Chain A
Amino acid sequence: MSGFLRILENEVQLVALLFLVFVYLFRLVWLFKFRSRKERTFPVGKEGRGIARSLMNVAMPWAMESTRKNPGFYVQFVIFHIGVAAAIAASFIIPYWPSLLEIKAVVRLFQVAIAGGLIVGLLRLYRRIAQPRIRLISTPDDYLSLIFMILFFAAAVLAVPNEFKTAEWPLILFFGLTAFLLIFVPFSKISHYLYYPFGRFFFGRTLGHRGISPAKKLSKGKAE
């Protein structure tokens, strides 16, 4: 392995990761600077249960009409995010647990998972371009974030075999893109995972407090 690749796989990644963490901390401070409202009404349900259910929403495709109506979209979502998880895992496994990738089945498993994400990414890009209502709301951030993820998946598929003795370029491409994305992500829509818990928390808190979700039991004669 060349010295360049070794540094790219290790020090460069760590610096980029630290940058991402730093920017996210800054972002969280920014979000917490907005005032929070105080709830002054008697609860009907339990806020904690509403929050928990809302956070679990991602794993309950039956809970929302949008995913009930579009099961294919939900399957795509799952495949895409499994691909993301696999590609991110690969960026740690390659430098820190390379022996795992000496098992051919593991390599194939990673490649299939990541390729799934790649295919869904292409489908999503097509959808964003082809559907007028999605095209109208799409920003350069939406397009480029998706394109970078597609490139990231493609590079990850090539890099996972970790055959640096044969050719280093797939690994250089993959780790170069990983470092780039770690710096790029906080400024892009890919950061949505940072906001997901907050969005679901606030919505779930209201629904829980008002006894909407989880649905309250029909209690006898109780005044609110």
Chain B
Amino acid sequence: MKRKRGRPSTTSGVINLPLETKSQDKAKADQLRSVAEGRLKLYEPGSDNSRRFLDLLSRKINRSLATSMVACVHCGLCADSCHYALAKPDDPTMTPVYKADQIRRIFKRHMDWAGRIVPWWVHAQYPADDEDLNRLKNIVFGMCSACRRCTYSCPMGVDTALLVRFARGLLTELGIVPEGVFNVSRDQWETGNQMAVTEEDYLETLEWMRQEVEDELGVPVRIPVDEKDCDFLYTINPREIKFDPRSIANAAKIFHFAGERWTLPRWGWDQTNFGLFSGDDNLGAYVAKNVYEAAVRLRAKRIVISECGHGYRSTRWEGYNWADYDQRIPTESVILTLKRYIEEGRIRVDPSKNGEPVTFHDSCNVARSGGLIEEPRWVLQRVCMDFREMYPNRTDNYCCTGGGGLLSMAEYRPLRLEVAKIKADQLRATGARLVCTMCHNCIDGLTDVIKHYKLDMGIVQVMDLVERALIT
């Protein structure tokens, strides 16, 4: 696509990446159920997408979003908090305020009085065509990981990450999304989990892991599925089934030693939620409700969420609101469960089994948007000999750079890795041999950073370290 006059150039080239629709065409040809039912939206080049975008904006905006639209004073302080802007200081399009302004200018033209009457006064502008919407897509999907770090640095309380998610949601309704976002959304709509894991694969993997733990311990071990009246319903990330089943084995082993009554559900086990990344509240509600209803169906006393950043945020916090579903039972991260086991003496741990220096990466969705900040540290300090903080940390920590669904969007990878320099420098400065995080997304994001910047580090999750430290 051609660059229009008066638009700033960028060094990244990301802004002008075209819209790819191969997967959408295939979904249409395959007559997928989610497409036929109108849940998974496809791009319609012939329709008036700019008008549809404005209609959606009017319909979906709420008061807190409207406040973030009008409250920005263009002070630019947010630039110092964004890893994109910090890593590319010469590119003025990398600042959070610039990115937010791309949706803000449409809102102002459409809904705000100054922008409607004298648009030039506030640079208010309608999207002229699909090219403009595609450009917006590249900004909100490709140039921001929605880590919310800038929100914490805004004196006015402008929630730029929320604006970015809102814009993503409007574009998702029009099918103007990166291929990766479409594919994962499709899988989650079609199969109930974002990696299209079949029930057969799911149950086979659980059985495989059960056997592994049993062989290791030499005693009968269970990984219960669909058992009623358990103390908790355990929900996992499909990545655990597909790529990291050892984390399920670790959980089973720890729950076994803790004497826990737990179960996984046959349906509604995926706690991840691509609706958070695509901005699609309908998808968010559907996936979250699967989990909540599984807990009701099995009469579980609690929902426990395995280590996953966006899964935790979606299932614990946002999902109930997306689904208009009042929370009825406690819903917690497995980190709280582990903490409770250690506190109550249900498992015993020996920190000397984890002698190497370990640092902790706060997942954005867990810390800044989830509030789990001290709990993982409490656990790590009891299972590691040499725990050291990275700086900045807690709610000031930097994104792994793979957040916001960016790992699924290959076209933005070069930019993502370029701006990951900030994270790489932060990791290197700790001198740690292991970086621990409680998020599968961060595992993949940090793996990329470590490989790209040739850092001498490994990655683990809290559960891995607890399992290693177990006194059996």
Q: Which residues of B contact A32 (CB under 8 A)?
A: 63
A176 to chain B, nearest CB (A): 22
* Binary contact track A12-54/B, C-beta < 8 Å → 1, others 0: 0000000000000000001110111111111011000000001
Contact between chains at A44 and B76 (CB < 8 Å): no
Main secondary structure of the interface of B (DSSP, over half): helix
| Assembled-state Cα–Cα distance A203/B65 (Å) | 11
Which residues of A have CB within 8 Å of B325? 40
Given known contacts A54-B157, A199-B68, A203-B159, A69 and B120 CB-to-CB distance under 8 angstroms:
no
B169 on the A face (CB < 8 A): no
**Judging by beta carbons under 8 Å apart, are B330 and A42 in contact?**
yes
A10 interface residue, CB < 8 Å from B? Answer: no
Give the residue of A45, A57, A69, A210 whose beta carbon is less than 8 angstroms from that of B370. A210
CA of A35 to CA of B58 in the docked complex: distance in angstroms? 11
Query: Dominant SS at the A interface?
Result: helix
A35-B62, A203-B159, A212-B395 as given contacts; A224 in contact with B326, CB under 8 Å: no
- Complex contact B85–A66 (CB within 8 A): no
Q: Which of A173-189 contact B (CB under 8 A)?
A: 187-189
CA–CA, A45 and B332, complex, Å: 15
In the complex, chain A residues whose CB is within 8 Å of the CB of B73: 189, 192
Given the interface pairs A36-B63, A137-B74, the reply to whether A199 lies near B156 with Cβ below 8 Å is yes
CA A175 to CA B69, docked complex, whole Å: 32
Q: Does B361 contact A (CB under 8 A)?
A: no
B467 to chain A, nearest CB (A): 21
Interface residues on A, range: 35 or more
Chain B: minimal CB distance from A163 (Å): 35
Contact, CB under 8 Å: A199 / B158: yes
Interface-lining segment among B92-100, B211-219, B438-446: B92-100
Of chain A, the residue at the smallest CB distance from B71 is: A195
Is B373 interfacial (CB-CB < 8 Å)? yes
Q: Which chain A positions have C-beta within 8 A of B447? A: none
Stretch from A88-96, A97-105, A215-223 forming part of the interface with B: A215-223
A-B contact count (CB 8 A): 178
Number of B interface residues, CB 8 Å?
73
B327 engages A42 (CB within 8 Å): yes
Shortest C-beta distance, B215 to chain A (Å), equals 33
B15-45 residues with Cβ-Cβ distance < 8 A to A are none
Question: Is B316 located at the chain interface by the 8 A CB criterion?
Answer: yes
A34 touches B66 (CB 8 A): yes
- Residues of chain B within 8 A of A140, CB atoms compared: 120-122
Contacts from B to A (Cβ < 8 Å)? 8, 61-68, 70-71, 73-74, 76-81, 85, 89-90, 92-95, 97-98, 101, 113-114, 120-123, 151-159, 302, 316-317, 320-321, 324-327, 330-332, 336, 339-340, 343-344, 367-371, 373-375, 378, 392, 395-396
Q: Enumerate 29 A-B pairs (CB-CB under 8 Å) in ascending A order.
A: A30-B113, A31-B67, A35-B63, A36-B62, A37-B62, A40-B325, A40-B327, A41-B317, A54-B157, A58-B155, A65-B80, A65-B81, A69-B80, A133-B92, A136-B93, A137-B101, A139-B74, A139-B122, A141-B122, A187-B113, A187-B121, A198-B67, A200-B156, A201-B157, A202-B64, A212-B368, A212-B370, A221-B343, A223-B332
